[in-house]
């Protein structure tokens, strides 16, 4: 007897660790442990998702996180994030130009003919989702032959190093606002105009209203399902972004940092990213909007399309598109006030983080004896008053 | 395993930020100071706010007590304590309230009155008492700034109209230093009076919501109430109006946990604060022993006399 429900916690926790690890290894005598290269390659998209939600580009640790969490994306991203807390921020990267990306896939649903061409790359978009029974018993020989054959049959000679951005052609035609104007728009949403530097969500809390850079950073490491659900609400009618994907590109972006001695920008490696730009229908700026009040003289230009931007680590197309749609919705909400949840920065940005939401959801499994005792006290008191005869 | 991590797990910049935020929180009693709040290797909601405070404030040679639901041995307290021990080499831990320099707690304030040289760190799931009447943080900030708690008072009033009782059981809104109203964290109403004029500094850490706030020592802490409907703590009297006692230590002045005895099926009560309960028990034993030995010597006197 004694504190029945809560005593002996330490030992119980140790045992949960053991049985959790047993389940990972129980398969059979001939089972092999998962190799981190296998995870990175054969579970490529799972790996992408974890690296993006974990918010730190560390492919090896992302594989380890997947392995130790036994494939739970939220748990794996969580472990990466916690690792990140032990690391200081040493440097800030300059703004990177994604037209320098080494592309593995890029498409546009706005134009058939885009400069450089549509490059479908690796996608399941047009696959029939039929079960591939032949993969059930795949021999190592057959498996290796696939890669070999593909490399032999693919010529790399006529693939250009980089591709121009689709948006540039739209901008050239005057269908999009020029970049300078965009910059002004970004600055407007920041209370402090002098502070044009991007907001670092890992070093500053979100105190609303927040600049667009804070929103983009929050969504870039947001949980894919959460972003998708809120973006989908906008697509279905709780909002009216009606996006067109001007360009979706996947590939490797070279990363530059200032050289510690010379200060010269030096390439230090590359990160795989997915980037999406959506174009939305133009809006006639209502004169009541706070932005127009301030800048009515500066902004008296002809109407143009509006933009939404999404980008994240790894190959995560659904996430990048959802983020771009939400960016558009949030910009509208920041300018005119939110008309639905997807346009409300507080609603979107405080609820899309997987680490936060899964943690809080999980915490309900912890004991709440004291608060529940308190709840019962209130209920009994009210019950007694509503039923005075007893 | 632990050597891969710096003292206190967090990098030094993060700890510095927590300390500076804490100073601001102490300077503005009850004000929720935003801070960046790092991800910890345990779930958001498991005390990451309290944990960051502990890790940033504890130093070598200091003694820590970690409790959850009043108990040092509950699963989460065990897990937090072993993590802090692993990453803060050179600290001591204790289960005794009076031995601790820092006490990290979830849902309870120890029954034993704390001293000036002690620090209580409470884990907070919802830092803002206004969230029940206003979902937008931006709007809540204005309300706090203007000390406009009218909607909260209306909620209490509506409770009385509907139920003839204030139905808030825990997280009782409490006004600090006559301005900011805080969410007192999920401590029961029983513990709220302990915030008032406390000798120890009390810090509140909300990791997921990224806020730190404080009730500095010797500060006014007044639970919201009305002149004619006073604030009341949990009632532990039985049907004939007698104060229930702990079935283990017989204490009649502590917050009690109620549960069903698995063997007899009866409803029984025990102190929620395990250290308090153990202390009362050993006090009982020593008084019992004293009376016993007194009796023995009396018997001896009689026998020899």
Asked if B163 reaches chain A (Cβ–Cβ under 8 Å), the answer is yes
Residues paired with B229 in a beta bridge:
none
Average pLDDT for residues A213-241, to the nearest whole number?
95
pLDDT tens by residue, A160-201: 888 889 988 888 888 887 775 444 444 444 444 434 688 999
Q: What residues contact residue B243 under an 8 Å CB cut-off, 6+ apart?
A: B236, B237, B252
Are residues A119 and A74 part of one domain?
A: no
Q: Give the SS3 label for residue B166.
A: coil
pLDDT tens by residue, B240-253: 999 999 999 999 99
Q: How far is CA B151 from CA A51, A257, B213, in A?
A: 44, 52, 22
Nearest CA in chain B to A363: B45
Q: Mark yes or no for CB contact B188/A79 under 8 Å.
A: no
Q: Which pLDDT score, from 0 to 100, does residue A293 have?
A: 44
Q: Mark yes or no for CB contact A377/B169 under 8 Å.
A: yes
Among candidate residues A346, A270, A348, A272, the one with its CA nearest the CA of residue A308: A348
d(CA A16, nearest CA chain B) in Å:
11
Residue A358 counted as domain residue: no
Domain enclosing residue A188, as ranges:
102-124+161-352
H helix intervals, A26-117: 36-42, 44-54, 59-68, 73-84
Q: Which pLDDT score, from 0 to 100, does residue A250 have?
A: 97
Instruction: Using the CB atoms, write b or e for B63-91: b if 16+ within 10 Å.
Output: bbbbbbbbbbbbbbbbbbbebbbebbeeb
d(CA B250, nearest CA chain A) in Å:
14
Residue A289 counted as domain residue: yes
The answer to whether the beta carbons of residues B205 and B124 sit under 8 Å apart is yes
CB contacts, 8 Å: B20 with chain A = none
Give the residue from B169, B187, B212 with the most A CB atoms within 10 Å of its CB, the best one to mutate: B169
Are residues A234 and A120 part of one domain?
A: yes
Q: What is the mean pLDDT of chain A?
A: 87
Rounded Cα gap, residues B146 and B206, in angstroms: 23
Are residues A188 and A283 part of one domain?
A: yes
Q: Which residues of B are catalytic?
A: 30, 246, 249, 271, 277
Identity of the residue in B11, B262, B274 whose CB atom sits nearest the CB atom of A87: B11
Residues paired with B122 in a beta bridge:
B105, B204
* Check whether domain B2-223 has CATH 3.40.50.11310, yes or no: yes
Residues paired with B211 in a beta bridge:
B34, B206
Residue A137 counted as domain residue: no
d(CA B210, nearest CA chain A) in Å:
7
Identity of the residue in A9, A89, A356 whose CB atom sits nearest the CB atom of B75: A9
Q: Give the SS3 label for residue B259.
A: strand
Q: Mark yes or no for CB contact B234/A9 under 8 Å.
A: no
Are residues A71 and A116 part of one domain?
A: no
The answer to whether the beta carbons of residues A183 and A213 sit under 8 Å apart is no
Are residues A239 and A175 part of one domain?
A: yes
Are residues A234 and A317 part of one domain?
A: yes
Question: How far, rounded to the nearest angstrom, does the alpha carbon of residue A327 sit from its chain's CA centroid?
Answer: 12
pLDDT tens by residue, B59-76: 999 999 999 999 998 888
d(CA B83, nearest CA chain A) in Å:
12
**Into how many domains does chain A fold?**
2
Average pLDDT for residues B265-289, to the nearest whole number?
91
Residue A220 counted as domain residue: yes
Are residues A235 and A204 part of one domain?
A: yes
Q: Mark yes or no for CB contact B69/A370 under 8 Å.
A: yes
Q: What residues contact residue A148 under an 8 Å CB cut-off, 6+ apart?
A: none
Inter-chain Cβ pairs, chain A and chain B, closer than 8 A: 176
Are residues A115 and A58 part of one domain?
A: no
Q: What is the mean pLDDT of chain B?
A: 92
Over its C-alpha atoms, chain B yields an Rg (Å, rounded) of 22
Q: Of A4-13, A165-174, B183-192, where does mean pLDDT reach its minimum?
A: A4-13
Q: Which pLDDT score, from 0 to 100, does residue A283 have?
A: 62
Q: Which pLDDT score, from 0 to 100, does residue A284 have?
A: 55
Q: Of A175-184, A294-303, B3-12, B13-22, where does mean pLDDT reach its minimum?
A: A294-303
Asked if B34 reaches chain A (Cβ–Cβ under 8 Å), the answer is yes
Over its C-alpha atoms, chain A yields an Rg (Å, rounded) of 25
CB contacts, 8 Å: A202 with chain B = 36, 38
Decide which of A278 and A168 is more confident.
A278
pLDDT tens by residue, B76-134: 899 899 999 999 999 999 999 999 999 999 999 999 999 999 999 999 999 999 999 99
Residue A386 counted as domain residue: no
Decide which of A390 and B28 is more confident.
B28
Q: How far is CA B169 from CA A142, A146, B87, B191, B202, in A?
A: 65, 64, 36, 12, 21
Identity of the residue in B164, B234, B272 whose CB atom sits nearest the CB atom of A377: B234
CB contacts, 8 Å: A355 with chain B = 39, 44
Host H or E run for residue A255: strand A244-258
Q: Which pLDDT score, from 0 to 100, does residue A191 have?
A: 43
pLDDT tens by residue, A50-65: 999 999 999 999 999 9
Confidence of residue B291 (pLDDT cuts 50, 70, 90): confident
Sign of CA dihedral A80, A82, A83, A86: positive
Whether A5 has a pLDDT exceeding 60, the answer reads no
Are residues A114 and A80 part of one domain?
A: no
d(CA A360, nearest CA chain B) in Å:
5
Confidence of residue A110 (pLDDT cuts 50, 70, 90): confident
Are residues A113 and A225 part of one domain?
A: yes
Q: Which pLDDT score, from 0 to 100, does residue B296 have?
A: 65
pLDDT cut 70: percent of chain B above it: 95
Q: Mark yes or no for CB contact B73/A9 under 8 Å.
A: yes
Residue A131 counted as domain residue: no
d(CA A11, nearest CA chain B) in Å:
9
d(CA A378, nearest CA chain B) in Å:
6
Are residues A115 and A34 part of one domain?
A: no
Asked if B157 reaches chain A (Cβ–Cβ under 8 Å), the answer is no
Average pLDDT for residues B133-158, to the nearest whole number?
95
State the distance between the two ends of chain A, measured CA to CA, in whole angstroms.
33
Residue A106 counted as domain residue: yes
Rounded Cα gap, residues B33 and B209, in angstroms: 11
Are residues A305 and A212 part of one domain?
A: yes
Whether A295 has a pLDDT exceeding 60, the answer reads no
Rounded Cα gap, residues B209 and B35, in angstroms: 9
Most confident of A43-52, A126-135, B276-285: A43-52
Q: Does the complex come out with an ipTM higher than 0.85?
A: no
Residue A150 counted as domain residue: no
Chain B, 275 to 304: residues with Cβ < 8 Å from chain A are none
From its phi and psi, is residue A150 left (phi > 0), alpha (psi between -120 and 50) or beta? alpha
Whether A341 has a pLDDT exceeding 70, the answer reads yes
Q: Which pLDDT score, from 0 to 100, does residue A71 have?
A: 96
Confidence of residue A7 (pLDDT cuts 50, 70, 90): low
Decide which of A142 and A110 is more confident.
A142
Rounded Cα gap, residues A246 and A176, in angstroms: 11
Domain locations along chain B: 2-223, 235-305
CB contacts, 8 Å: B2 with chain A = none
pTM beyond 0.90, yes or no:
no
Identity of the residue in A82, A203, A374 whose CB atom sits nearest the CB atom of B189: A374
Nearest CA in chain A to B41: A82
Asked if B10 reaches chain A (Cβ–Cβ under 8 Å), the answer is yes
Nearest CA in chain A to B82: A10
Average pLDDT for residues B146-162, to the nearest whole number?
94
Chain B, 193 to 252: residues with Cβ < 8 Å from chain A are 208, 210-211, 234-235, 248
CB contacts, 8 Å: A84 with chain B = 38-39
Residue B65 phi, psi dihedral angles, 5° rounding: -125, 135
Chain B, 67 to 106: residues with Cβ < 8 Å from chain A are 68-71, 73-79, 82
Strands, sheet with A244-258, edge to edge from the N-terminal-most edge strand: A102-107, A244-258, A265-280, A306-313
pLDDT tens by residue, A116-134: 889 899 999 988 899 999 9
CB contacts, 8 Å: B170 with chain A = 370-371, 374-375
């Amino acid at each position: 007897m004694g504190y029945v429900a809560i005593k002996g916690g330490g030992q119980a926790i140790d045992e949960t660790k053991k049985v959790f690890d047993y389940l990972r290894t129980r398969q059979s005598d001939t089972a092999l442990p998962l190799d981190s290269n296998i995870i990175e390659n054969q579970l490529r998209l799972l790996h992408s998702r974890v690296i993006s939600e974990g918010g730190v580009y560390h492919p090896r640790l992302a594989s380890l996180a997947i392995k130790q969490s036994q494939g739970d994306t939220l748990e794996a991203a969580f472990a990466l994030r916690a690792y990140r807390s032990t690391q200081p921020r040493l440097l800030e990267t300059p703004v990177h130009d994604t037209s320098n990306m080494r592309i593995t896939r890029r498409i546009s649903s706005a134009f058939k003919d885009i400069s450089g061409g549509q490059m479908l790359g690796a996608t399941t978009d047009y696959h029939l989702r039929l079960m591939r029974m032949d993969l059930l018993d795949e021999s190592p020989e057959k498996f290796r032959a696939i890669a070999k054959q593909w490399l032999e049959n693919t010529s790399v000679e006529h693939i250009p190093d980089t591709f121009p951005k689709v948006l540039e052609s739209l901008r050239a035609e005057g269908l999009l606002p020029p970049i300078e104007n965009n910059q002004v728009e970004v600055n407007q949403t920041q209370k402090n105009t002098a502070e044009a530097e991007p907001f670092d969500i890992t070093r500053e809390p979100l105190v609303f209203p927040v600049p667009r850079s804070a929103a983009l950073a929050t969504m870039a490491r947001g949980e894919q399902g959460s972003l998708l659900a809120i973006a989908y609400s906008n697509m279905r009618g709780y909002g009216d972004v009606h996006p067109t994907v001007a360009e979706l590109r996947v590939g490797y972006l070279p990363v530059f940092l200032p050289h510690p001695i010379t200060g010269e920008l030096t390439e230090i490696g590359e990160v795989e990213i997915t980037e999406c730009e959506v174009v939305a229908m133009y809006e006639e700026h209502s004169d009541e909007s706070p932005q127009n009040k301030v800048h009515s003289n500066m902004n008296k230009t002809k109407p143009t399309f509006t933009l939404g931007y999404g980008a994240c680590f790894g190959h995560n197309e659904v996430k990048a598109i959802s983020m771009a749609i939400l960016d558009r919705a949030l910009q509208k909400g920041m300018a005119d006030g939110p008309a639905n949840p997807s346009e409300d920065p507080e609603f979107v940005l405080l609820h899309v983080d997987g680490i936060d939401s899964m943690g809080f959801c999980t915490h309900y499994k912890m004991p709440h004896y004291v608060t529940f005792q308190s709840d019962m006290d209130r209920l009994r008191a009210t019950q007694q008053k509503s039923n005075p005869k007893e | 395993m632990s050597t891969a991590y710096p003292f206190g797990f967090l990098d030094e910049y993060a700890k510095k930020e927590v300390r500076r935020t804490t100073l601001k929180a102490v300077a503005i009693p009850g004000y929720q100071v935003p801070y960046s709040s790092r991800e910890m290797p345990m779930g958001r909601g498991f005390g990451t706010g309290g944990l960051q405070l502990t890790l940033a404030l504890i130093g070598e040679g200091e003694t820590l007590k970690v409790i959850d639901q009043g108990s040092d041995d509950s699963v989460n307290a065990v897990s937090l304590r072993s993590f802090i021990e692993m990453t803060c080499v050179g600290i001591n831990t204790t289960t005794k309230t009076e031995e601790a320099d820092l006490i990290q707690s979830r849902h309870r304030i120890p029954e034993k009155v704390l001293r000036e040289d002690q620090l209580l760190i409470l884990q907070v799931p919802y830092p803002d008492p206004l969230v029940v009447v206003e979902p937008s943080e931006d709007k809540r900030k204005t309300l706090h700034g203007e000390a406009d708690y009218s909607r909260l008072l209306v909620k209490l009033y509506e409770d009385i109209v509907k139920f003839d009782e204030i139905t808030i059981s825990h997280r009782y809104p409490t006004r600090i230093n006559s301005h900011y109203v805080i969410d007192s964290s999920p401590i029961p109403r029983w513990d709220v009076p302990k915030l008032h004029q406390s000798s120890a500094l009390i810090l509140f850490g909300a990791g997921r919501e990224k806020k730190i706030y404080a009730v500095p020592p010797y500060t006014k802490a007044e639970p919201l109430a009305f002149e004619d409907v006073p604030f009341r703590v949990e009632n532990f009297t039985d049907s004939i109006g007698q104060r229930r006692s702990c079935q283990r230590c017989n204490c009649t002045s502590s917050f009690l946990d109620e549960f069903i005895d698995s063997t007899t099926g009866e409803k029984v009560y025990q102190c929620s604060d395990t250290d308090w309960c153990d202390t009362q028990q050993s006090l009982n034993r020593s008084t019992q022993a004293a009376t016993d030995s007194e009796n023995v010597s009396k018997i001896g006197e009689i026998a020899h006399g």
